[in-house]
Structure 1
């Protein structure tokens, strides 16, 4: 039951941000590094879940994470390009110096867009069967990928916190996304712990618990929950 509750929280978690982006016709509030970390982390999460033969609920949820990340990426690329074209139209009659500055901005944004656009293809390639590997080797590879996923999740909030601080604003950022994510973390971690019966299975699940679900484990000692709390505090002060 707790697994399905977590699915409900995660199913709606990122929709507030997608809606917010649509209403604002802008993604200015989102850190591209934050978004990129999520894409890479969710991709590693999906691959690791499959290779280590995690619970079906976990694999389904990991697949959904990747799909929703792709949706956010498409939004980011679309609105970023739209903003660039708008700036070009406004500054058509500006000086050559200003034109060069705009050109540099275009190149920078296009670079980010290209990075985000290639992620789905990298994910697909990485998820292809490795026929030359033994089953045990695949499991070990999955565990290794899962630990990489943990590092990405652990550091994902930092770029967004920095962007909020630099802008001195959280306008355009949906705080509901972080609230639902925290609730999803909590209920999903509980569901994994309740269904994990062997030491080996727990070891294979550990990277996922320490990664996306680290909020529960470090709830007492602080840890990454501090990052979520920092965003909540930023929303209060800014």
Structure 2
């Protein structure tokens, strides 16, 4: 059975929250690419974790396309695949091919055994050197963004400053698309696509959700053993949480029809479980501080 037609208003609302989620993702992830370029270094990134995320993002993207879920969710999945690819290329290039412009012969084993460093250091410019013993930045998955101090706010303003032209551009095209959708030419209802359950898209979706959620567990264990959450960024944590919540709302804003929600469930759960784990990490930050 096909879901009931979707009103333009609900579609507009869904698109709005979807683009909010995407913009929050950019605020957290784009500065990392800039930082890698300016530092000419890939030592801050765990290649194992990056490849886990790449697999999860590819499963997420292909599953979302095959299941034909909402456009903004597909766009965000594509965004994460692209950013993962860029960071992986940067990391390999700066680790193995670039050391002050010369070929780097450091082995992969040596790199993986080296202490990991933070991606974004709040309290200092994202263009400055990275700090040791912190975790990676991801919006819909991965560890809580790290910082030099939990109360710092300098890098947030710097991030907004760097991303302002990009955010304005994305907002302009997003608003144009929303207005086009809001004023359909031939009908006051939007006919939904075929939301029937399909095995492979559902499998890809659930596998990606498991990988996303599982990537937080090592951080929780590490915090518990160290009895410390040094490096957590409250401000970036807020962006991460906002992105996940907006992502979930975008699905329910489109439609609450079960025939629509059930096929989208893997992607909803993928962003619903992670915030609970993030909140637990935030609780660790509170008790260990």
Q: TM-score of the superposition, structure 1-length normalised?
A: 0.63
Equivalents in 2 of 1:38, 1:186: separation in Å? 20
**How far is 1:76 from its partner?**
1.3
Question: What RMSD, in angstroms, separates the aligned Cα atoms of the two structures?
Answer: 4.0
Q: 1:81 aligns with which of 96, 101, 105?
A: 96
Determine the C-alpha separation between the residues in 2 that align with 1:29 and 1:175: 20
* 1:211 match: 270
Distance in 2 of aligned mates of 1:178 and 1:13 = 9
Q: 2:27 — aligned with what?
A: 12
CA distance 1:226–1:21, shift in 2 (3 Å): farther
1:28: which partner in 2?
43
Give the corresponding residue for 1:120. none
What is the DSSP-based 3-state SS (H/G/I as helix, E as strand, rest coil) of the residue aligned with 2:260?
A: helix
Offset at residue 169 of structure 1 (A): 10
Match of 2:254 among 174, 181, 195: 195
2:87 pairs, out of 65, 72, 76, with 72
Q: Which has the higher contact order (CA 8 A, sep 6+)?
A: 1
Secondary structure at the counterpart of residue 271 of structure 2: coil
1:182 maps to 241
Pairwise CA distance, 1:233? 3.9
The aligned residue for residue 116 of structure 1 is: none
Alpha carbons 1:16, 1:176 under 8 Å: kept: no
Structure-2 change in CA distance of 1:176 and 1:76 (3 Å): farther
Q: TM-score normalized by structure 2?
A: 0.53
In structure 2, the gaps of 5 or more residues are 1-15, 113-193
Alpha-carbon separation, structure 2, partners of 1:54 and 1:153: 19
Distance 1:71 1:21 in 2: 10
Aligned partner (choices 64, 85, 95) of residue 49 of structure 1: 64
Gaps of 5+ in 1: 91-102, 112-134
Instruction: Specify which structure has the higher proportion of helix.
Output: 1
Structure 1 counterpart of 2:78: 63
CA drift at 1:43: 0.7
SS at match of 1:212: helix
CA contact (8 A) 1:13 1:178 kept: no
**Does residue 210 of structure 2 align to residue 151 of structure 1?**
yes
Q: Distance in 2 between matches of 1:136 and 1:190?
A: 18
